[in-house]
Amino acid sequence: MTATPAREGLAQPTAQTPQFRTTRWAAMSAVFLHQLHRTRRAWGSSLAAGLASPTLFLFAIGAGLGSQIDDVELAALGVDSYLDYIGPGVLIVTAMQVAATESLWATMGMLRWGGVYQAVLATPITSAELGVAHVIWLGFRALVAGGSFLLVLAVAGTIASWFGVLIALVAVLVAWSHAAPLVALTVGLKQENVYPMISRVVIFPLFLFSGAFFPVEDMPRAVGAFAKITPSWHGVELARHLALGGPGRVDIIHSGYLVVVCAAGFFLVQRQFRKHLDV
């Protein structure tokens, strides 16, 4: 028998032919599911570690230090206990810290060290879709951490309204608003030398000075004015109002601010991923 010659004129299927194309949402969903599958064995330990530290911190500061705050000061804060005041704020800044930290070393590992995202880009998924999917994944990490922490707050009796359920979504918005610019920065870096400085000079001060522990009005005027333009402060204020059951018109501003910052961040991520990963 003689081999049948290949017929000329038949295009071989490639990643660019219609049967290999995929929708934008399907592509991003594939990246998300890949991340979920890749990290499934670490979820138990990560969740336990992620809950233990902020929970212990919350009760040490809220119940311990809070016992030294008199009723007059609590009335000025609009709460019955200091734990009620800092609980929603600690949840938000914890979600911010989780997403921001994952935007640095872990993202660099996916992009540079492990070769995972180089392999992903060999598929029909575009670099912009990859960037957006990665930030969405970081928001999901924050959602899990924030949702678990919210259960702790509910058990502690610091959530006075069913509006408090929405705090988990606020945590996602705050996570995205911080994760997106840091992921956009990371994709353009070759080394991680700048990360310790970002952690100390940016992330940790935002954790402390976002209004989670004391009103920004008690800060020096310049520091307080700067705090009020940060997404973390808007998230803390919104979460606190939801927990106390008194959302108002000002919370529309807080929500709108977070949405705008997130939209700008996703736009920046797509731009940076195209710039640095498209060849």
Tokens of 127: 């670099």
161 inside domain:
yes
Q: Give me the pLDDT at residue 8, please.
A: 41
SS3 per residue for 12-32: CCCCCCHHHCCCHHHHHHHHH
Confirm if 210 and 233 have CB atoms less than 8 A apart: yes
Confirm if 244 and 217 have CB atoms less than 8 A apart: no
Residues 68-98: tens digit of each pLDDT:
788 888 888 888 888 899 999 999 999 999 9
Number of helical H runs and strand E runs in the chain: 13, 0
Q: Tokens 């402390």 belong to which residue?
A: 208
According to DSSP, residue 209 is labeled: S
**CA-closest candidate to residue 183, choices 100, 261, 118:** 100
Segments in the chain below pLDDT 70: 1-22, 46, 49-50, 279
According to DSSP, residue 125 is labeled: -
177 inside domain:
yes
3 inside domain:
no
Number of domains in the chain: 1
CA–CA separation, 119 and 102 (whole Å): 20
SS3 per residue for 127-150: HHHHHHHHHHHHHHHHHHHHHHHH
4 inside domain:
no
9 inside domain:
no
Give the predicted TM-score (pTM) of the model.
Answer: 0.87
CA–CA separation, 169 and 165 (whole Å): 8
Q: Give me the pLDDT at residue 197, please.
A: 95
Q: Tokens 């949405």 belong to which residue?
A: 259
Q: Give me the pLDDT at residue 239, please.
A: 97
Residues 122-163: tens digit of each pLDDT:
888 999 999 999 999 999 999 988 888 898 899 888 899 999
Confirm if 141 and 51 have CB atoms less than 8 A apart: no
Q: Give me the pLDDT at residue 279, please.
A: 67
| SS3 category, 56 | helix
**Rg (Cα) of the chain, in Å, rounded?**
22
62 inside domain:
yes
- HSE, CB side, 13 Å, CA atoms: give it for residue 44: 1
10 Å Cβ neighbour count for 185?
Answer: 18
What residues make up the domain containing 265? 44-277
27 inside domain:
no
**CA-closest candidate to residue 242, choices 152, 172, 173, 168:** 168
1 inside domain:
no
Q: Give me the pLDDT at residue 70, please.
A: 80
Tokens of 170: 């606020």
CA–CA separation, 24 and 30 (whole Å): 10
